[in-house]
Structure 1
């Protein structure tokens, strides 16, 4: 079986290349055919998808620290946290040689247990540009610009030059509470 195809004459080919959307209706806002997306619409859509994905990541990172609504500002004496009993976390939940990210009164904190039984707290807000610092193995990392901090809040590398501020917490009956005892 032999197939034959017809190709447009050279003059017709040039006309096709000059006006690719010749048969499609145009409008002045899309610079192309009606129903086609312009660059701005595509970028808006991509931005929306990116924001939605970032929201999912942020919510996943904050999981497990539901706020009971009675939290006070960390550092205030006798404050309560996000647990049912007002605790920020149980000491057993804070890894020895590591940290746990919690939220109290709308403020993000890093509960740190450098040695077993001793829990301290730092602001989880990077001193460089205000991103949330995340616990990592044996250190604290800012995902935005790559700053790293020791578990005591001292900057090790990256653009952050100031240490993470300490926040007052105390331990009572195996639980960590904001403020002083």
Structure 2
């Protein structure tokens, strides 16, 4: 073996060693990042699941502004950590819930007897309340709210479907969708 062959062999061996070390390092780093992201997703998805599951236990949460705000608090983390499919399913649930909460608030505000005071000017030009809600007005308001809620209960199956889609997407992301036949509902 000539000196050139020995040097060439050493260079090739060294190059192969460096390339192997680089690839091993890159693969290890990528795997560590995947693990970190998977762990963060798991934590986020468990939190989101616990919240969406509350609606399955109490359907009236579709009117609850505080519940909606809690669901909305996950928006930025879902955009950052979730897959596109999970983010879209979360967005669909978020929008359905937002629409429901806002419609309920508007209905209540539009029908609230306290918002229906009548004023007129007296002889001094001062505005004076000439009509105050009665007990009957408040009873009618309570009945309207009850009827509205009963009507909205018909939307619960759609909300349940949205929840199931979020759960399915999260399970796919986490790799825990092995038993595809099971559902949470």
Q: Same fold (TM over 0.5)?
A: no
Give the strand-richer structure, 1 or 2.
1
TM-score (ref. length: structure 2) = 0.29
Which has the higher Rg, Structure 1 or Structure 2? 2
Higher RCO (Cα < 8 Å, 6 or more apart): 2
Give the helix-richer structure, 1 or 2.
2
TM-score (ref. length: structure 1) = 0.29
